[in-house]
Amino acid sequence: MYRSICILGRQPALGLAELETLYGADRVAPLSTHVAGLTLEASDVDFTRLGGSTRLASVIGEVDSVSWPQIEKALRTSGIHIAKSLPPEGKIKLGLSVYGLDISPAKLTAAGLTLKKILRSGDRSVRLVPNQAAELSTAQVFHNALTGNLGIELLIVVGKSSTIIAHTLTVQDIDSYTLRDRGRPKRDARVGMLPPKLAQIIINLVGPMPEHSVILDPFCGTGVLLQEALLMRYDVTGTDLEPRMIAYSDANLEWAHERLGTENAYMLTVGDATSHQWELPIDAVACETYLGRAFTSAPSREILEQTASDVNLILKKFLKNIHPQLARGTRLCLAVPAWQTNPGSFRHLQFIDHLADGGFKRINLTHVNNADLLYYREDQIVARELLVLEVF
């Protein structure tokens, strides 16, 4: 029996992989394309560290039917039950989201209006957030305070023969992500901008570790991944080939300490990842590696092959250098480039097929194929492929 559910983000495979890595394949399962069920209570899920899940909800009931009239009947009962637990005064804000059922926004809004009418009969003021699609967006849930003390979002997850009804407890803090991304004093678009959500996923894919474990980012750039690791209460070490990037990271991590309240230790050093000797111990490696040239349009075959060859050589040298510095069993999550040559078709780096030669094995997940661990937009040439490795 699932006790909580997570709504997965734009690329659900990454969110599902993140949940499986943190909580175990036996406690997590995909319920539909954008929904994961967990046998854990919602209170046992550290939602603030998840980059690949947009909402966390507590399961409040299950209907042995996929018929909308039966679902709607249970929905009314659930809504009334939750409303009784809200503060006695103030306007209730109500929203509905459906996953796994082809239902029109008009029909869903009608169900919401019916529930609104029932709740108002108890002398409560109620505002319904109208559906423009079957699912409310993260922004709608966040800006309408549907997870606040007067908010109710009911999630309806329709399976093959039954339906789960859940109550959303928390939603991704859009303002916090914007601050952590755009509020940092030092940014450089020329070296690429790692989204904080993706940085969280990369860190989480090395697995849960005790506080103050040391995470190394050998290609730290402006320090986004280091910042997110500090917010998870890890200690961090960052190196970069360019002194300017180390200066940027230093300024950004000082800002994170003052503005975001990070307290753990960090160490920054100028260093070439293909030859640097890091201070030990290193408990895990998490990074976005060198991605090669940035392409805004499809490159010629010759240019793409040369770029791939250059990146491949650098990353082979990096792995050869770092392997003897890591203990057996140490996990790494590397975001490496993969080039979209046709829609949904990618050119991958050659060294990935020869990881065992360098003393690394690629970790296989139960619910997600490694081929799906790609972060990209449909129109993007350079994707980030996430490699989860272990030293042997």
Which domains can be identified in the chain, with CATH numbers?
4-172 (3.30.2130.30), 185-391 (3.40.50.150)
Q: Provide the pLDDT confidence category of residue 184 given band limits of 50, 70 and 90.
A: very high
The CA-to-CA distance between both ends of the chain, in Å, stands at: 37
| Cα separation, 18 vs 202, whole angstroms | 8
| Cα separation, 358 vs 337, whole angstroms | 19
What six digits make up the tokens of 317? 């040298």
Name, in order, each residue with C-beta under 8 angstroms of 218's C-beta and a sequence gap of 6 or more: 239, 271, 273, 276, 278, 285, 287, 289, 318, 322
Q: Provide the pLDDT confidence category of residue 116 given band limits of 50, 70 and 90.
A: very high
Which of 14-23, 78-87, 280-289, 346-355 comes out lowest in average pLDDT?
78-87
Q: Provide the pLDDT confidence category of residue 188 given band limits of 50, 70 and 90.
A: confident
| Span 130-176, pLDDT tens digits | 999 999 999 999 999 999 999 999 999 999 999 999 999 999 999 99
Nearest in space to 59 (alpha carbons), one of 36, 32, 84, 86: 36
Q: In 10 A of CB 96, how many CB atoms?
A: 26
pLDDT at 190 over 90: no
Q: What's the pLDDT at 192?
A: 67
Q: What is the mean pLDDT of residues 241-256?
A: 98
| Cα separation, 290 vs 335, whole angstroms | 9
pLDDT at 44 over 90: yes
Q: What is the pTM of this model?
A: 0.96
Which element (helix H / strand E) includes 34? none
Sequential DSSP letters for 158-225: E-SS-EEEEEEEEE--HHHHHHHHHSSS---GGG----HHHHHHHHHTT----TT-EEEETT-TTSHH
